Amino acid sequence: MSGANSFQVSGYGPQRAGLARLLARDSLARRLDWPMLLAALALSMLGSLLVYSATRNRTELNQGDPYYFLIRHVLNTGIGLTLMIGTLWLGHRTLRGAVPILYGFSLLLTLLVLTPLGSTINGAHSWIKLPGGFSLQPSEFVKVTIILGMAMLLAARVDAGDKPYPDHRTVLQALGLAAVPMLIVLLMPDLGSVMVMVVIVLGVLLASGSSNRWVFGLIGTGTIGALTVWQLGILDDYQIARFAAFANPELDPAGVGYNTNQARIAIGSGGLTGSGLFKGSQTTGQFVPEQQTDFVFTVAGEELGFIGGGLIIVLIGVILWRACRIARETTELYGTIVAAGIVAWFAFQAFENIGMTLGIMPVTGLPLPFVSYGGSSMFAVWVAVGLLQSIRVQRPMSA
């Protein structure tokens, strides 16, 4: 960061051409947050290895092609990178104007899931089948649009200098904006995603500087809401069973507790250095279900051991740490809110995903950002990285 202060920086720097522009000290490439970018790339690459290890002999899934999932994961990463570059190119400020359109589009997609176009995977009715064997999970994109939408509403008057904090009316509007897609996702029912969204809303409200009453009120409402949902039986049996199995994994080792149990055995048996890539007996023996998506961390745990599992946590830590910095350092509240929302999203989703494989969180169907197989998730997290990079690139280099 030394020397950065001596430059006159704005979002629209001097126009230069070609390589020189790229390498210039005030260039886009120089101003990018490389640690975050490299950590995200490393996670995606590590993910492709783990996904490959988990699927190379699952013939019933990979249609006889051991590289089926590997190729698609790499492809998804490529598309994700492209989306990130696109986001960066447009810039979060430009996107700020398009938020209503994006929000509306994502809302439409989630509504489509509830139509006959939607399909059910693992008890969650949260996918839209596309031609060519692809499928879309709109709830992943809703996470992004909720952040953007709320940020737009909450930051509007503050960034304009009208008020130091968002007023109650604005907060109420923002909450309403988040609540609509959340309700739809809850109906799917995709409980995991709703949990993530609740945490996102919490993070956004915290970062927006809204009154403490809102923050604690939301926590209270969330708790009461969860209890209500439980009591009213809105949850399906399988979801209750998962929570019961979390509380007591030995309850039914062949049934609902099976996932948690086998996952824990896989990770536990890894030890310090693991059994070596492609050599894990739990993984090769396909004892852990959904191992390329929700339980991908168990592959790392078993085959790469504490070192590999720890590396994933550290890499996620690097991304979160850089994102927190970006949130703190940007001048606009809009950027701060977006960054904080993303931090809340990544942090909670990673914690929930890894936590459930370690047996400290209940099992819900959530992918591990960057690592798990799954296009929608991959695209969404890379768009989020694009937003973070854009906020960093376009922040004023203050003295």
**Are 363 and 246 a contacting pair, CB within 8 Å?**
yes
Q: Which of 10, 221, 248, 281 binds other proteins (CB under 8 A)?
A: 281
In the complex, the smallest distance separating the C-beta of residue 187 from other proteins, rounded to whole angstroms, is 29
Shortest Å distance, C-beta 270 to other proteins: 5
Minimum separation from the CB atom of position 125 to other proteins (A): 27
Which residue stretch of 83-91, 127-135, 187-195, 277-285 sits at the interface with other proteins (rule: CB under 8 A)? 277-285
Query: Is there binding between residue 271 and other proteins (CB under 8 A)?
Result: yes
321 binds other proteins (CB under 8 A): yes
Across-strand partners of 128?
118, 136
Among 80, 118, 249, 270, the residue binding other proteins under the rule CB under 8 A is 270
Q: Are 208 and 168 contacting, i.e. CB atoms less than 8 angstroms apart?
A: no
Q: In Å, how far from its chain's centre is CA 164? A: 30
Q: Are 309 and 267 in contact (CB under 8 A)?
A: yes
What is d(CA 211, CA 327) in angstroms, rounded to the nearest whole number?
A: 19
Work out whether 122 is an interface residue with other proteins (CB under 8 A): no
From 35, 217, 222, 268, residue interacting with other proteins (rule: CB under 8 A): 268
Nearest approach, Cβ of residue 392 and other proteins (Å)? 14
**Count of residues in contact with other proteins, rule CB under 8 A:** 60
Site string for other proteins, 149-168 (x = CB under 8 A): ------------x--xx---
User: Which CB sits closer to other proteins, 44 or 208?
Assistant: 208
Q: What is the x/- site pattern for other proteins, positions 330-349, by CB under 8 A?
A: xxxx--x---x--xx--xx-
What does the alpha-carbon distance between residue 313 and residue 317 come to, in Å, rounded to a whole number? 6
Site string for other proteins, 42-61 (x = CB under 8 A): ---------------x----
* 196/385 Cα distance (integer angstroms): 17
Of positions 32, 45, 79, 313, contacts other proteins by CB under 8 A: 313
Alpha-carbon Rg for the chain, nearest whole angstrom, is 21
Q: With contact defined as beta carbons under 8 Å apart, do 207 and 215 qualify?
A: no
- Residue 125 host element (H or E): strand 124-129
Whole-Å CA distances, 10 to 32, 178, 377, 378, 398: 14, 32, 32, 30, 10
Contact 343, 74 (CB under 8 A): no
Neighbours of 308 (CB within 10 A): 21
Provide CB contacts within 8 A for 184, sequence distance 6+: 107, 110, 111, 113, 114
b/e map 70-87, b = 16+ CB within 10 Å: bebbbebbeebbebbeeb
| By CB under 8 A, residue 385 contacts other proteins | no
Binder to other proteins among 136, 147, 354, 383 (CB under 8 A)? 354
If binding is defined by CB under 8 A, does position 86 make contact with other proteins?
no
Residue with smaller CB distance to other proteins, 173 or 286: 286
Q: At its nearest, how many Å lie between other proteins and the CB of residue 254?
A: 11
Any contact of residue 327 with other proteins (CB under 8 A)?
Answer: yes
- Tokens 């994961």: give the residue: 73
Give yes or no for residue 324 binding other proteins (CB under 8 A): yes
Least distance to other proteins, CB of residue 320, Å: 5
Can residue 305 be called a binding residue for other proteins (CB under 8 A)? yes
- C-beta of 131: minimal distance to other proteins in Å? 28
Cα(49)–Cα(222) distance, rounded to whole angstroms?
Answer: 38
Q: Tell whether residue 206 is a contact of other proteins (CB under 8 A).
A: yes
Residue in the block written with tokens 């499928």: 135
State the Cα–Cα distance between residues 235 and 293, nearest whole angstrom.
23
> Who contacts 20 (Cβ-Cβ below 8 Å, separation ≥6)?
none
The structure tokens listed for 358 are: 């370690």
Which of 16, 168, 169, 328 contacts other proteins by CB under 8 A? 328
Residues in touch with other proteins (CB under 8 A): 57, 161, 164-165, 203, 206-209, 262, 264-272, 281-282, 284-287, 301-302, 305-306, 309-310, 313, 316-317, 320-321, 324, 327-333, 336, 340, 343-344, 347-348, 350-351, 354-355, 358-360, 396, 398-399
